[in-house]
Amino acid sequence: MELIDGNKIAADVIAELKAEVATLPGRKPSLVLVRVGDDPASVSYVKKKEQAATAIGIDSRVILPPVSITQAELEKLIDQLNADRGVDAILVQSPLPKHIDELQIFRRIAPGKDVDGLGTMNLGKVAQDDANGFVSCTPAGIIELLTRSGVDLKGQHVVVLGRSLLVGKPVALLALQKKSNATVTICHSATRDLPAITRTADVLIAAIGRPEFVTADMVKPGAVVIDVGINRVPDPAKKTGYRLVGDVHFASVAPLAGKITPVPGGVGPMTVAMLMKNTLKAYRQQKPSE
């Protein structure tokens, strides 16, 4: 078994981006992160995104609207950021409070600044094999991890567990694109006899949000296993009172997998790195104003 080290690969990507940003004349790329409320996971993700931006030389700013913000007020904020020529990239951290229609907010972000790639235009471009758009950061990070780990998807059977807008659907589309050329199966909560399908996977991507759901009997020996899940399970022995586990039961699956990502330290850091890559792309696609 080979461990796919997401921390190391993400650090490589970040070093490459830092070198690229250092060569840019004039103003630096700018990223605005919008976080509504104090969801602990969101607080931690936004902090990591800010730290990565600083390390690379990307100007980042965090806007913290109160949890009571209305749909109209949040849309107005997005409109202002869309119109601001000094802002290249906008990321609205998910999840938003229940009273906000998240999809409408994602759709509101100008396609050229939609670095999380969740708006209609950018998701459509993924379906159209159009490389000019922004690919959602977690799916893009998964493909980058596979590529940099020497996994060629051509002709491989990729099984994706989960069909969310954020992960499952776009990663399935990316694996299906001509440049990846995989054969793709997508599973969800209504899929019958899941283990029979997952056992046929050359590459298994688990994105369901169920702690340690994928067990050894569901995995073909030698398969590449990508664990997207980030689940907090209670653990009194930890200072925080919880520990992070993936959607894969790592202890039983790792010995038989060909390659596997750990949680934490697998897909998570790649999500952050891809956000930075997309921000630089957004900057390059806009006409920088001095």
Catalytic residue annotation:
49, 93, 116
Given a contact cutoff of 8 angstroms between Cβ atoms, the answer to whether 200 and 157 are in contact is: yes
* Residue 230 near ligand NAP by CB under 6 A: yes
Asked if 180 touches ligand NAP (CB under 6 A), the answer is: no
* Binds ligand NAP by CB under 6 A, chosen from 183, 185, 231, 286: 231
161 binds ligand NAP (CB under 6 A): yes
197 touches ligand NAP (CB under 6 A): no
| φ, ψ dihedrals at 55, nearest 5° | -60, -30
188 near ligand NAP (CB under 6 A) = yes
> Binder to ligand NAP among 34, 166, 201, 218 (CB under 6 A)?
166
Nearest-5° Cα angle at 15, 20 to 60:
70
Q: How many other CB atoms sit within 10 Å of the CB of residue 94?
A: 17
Which residue's Cβ has the minimum distance to ligand NAP?
164
Determine the residue type at 95: P
| C-alpha span between 6 and 144 (Å, rounded) | 10
Looking at the Cβ atoms of 167 and 223, the one nearer to ligand NAP is 167
Answer yes or no whether residue 117 interacts with ligand NAP by CB under 6 A: no
Pairing type for strands 259-260 and 2-3 reads: parallel
Q: Is residue 164 at the binding interface for ligand NAP, with CB under 6 A as the rule? A: yes
Task: In whole angstroms, give the CA distance from residue 175 to residue 144.
Answer: 11
Residue whose entry in the numeric block shows the structure tokens 């390390």:
55
What is the CB neighbour count within 10 angstroms for residue 64?
14
Instruction: Give me the residues paired with residue 249 across strands.
Output: none
Q: Which is nearer to ligand NAP, 163 or 243 (CB)?
A: 163
Binding residues for ligand NAP, how many (CB under 6 A)? 25
CB-neighbour burial class of residue 72 (10 A; exposed 0-12, middle 13-18, buried 19+): exposed
Q: Which stretch binds ligand NAP (CB under 6 A): 11-19, 68-76, 77-85, 186-194?
A: 186-194
Least distance in angstroms from the C-beta of 261 to ligand NAP: 9
Q: Does 72 bind ligand NAP (CB under 6 A)?
A: no
- Which residues of the shown chain bind ligand NAP in the complex (CB under 6 A)? 138, 161-164, 166-168, 187-191, 194, 207-210, 228-231, 267-268, 271
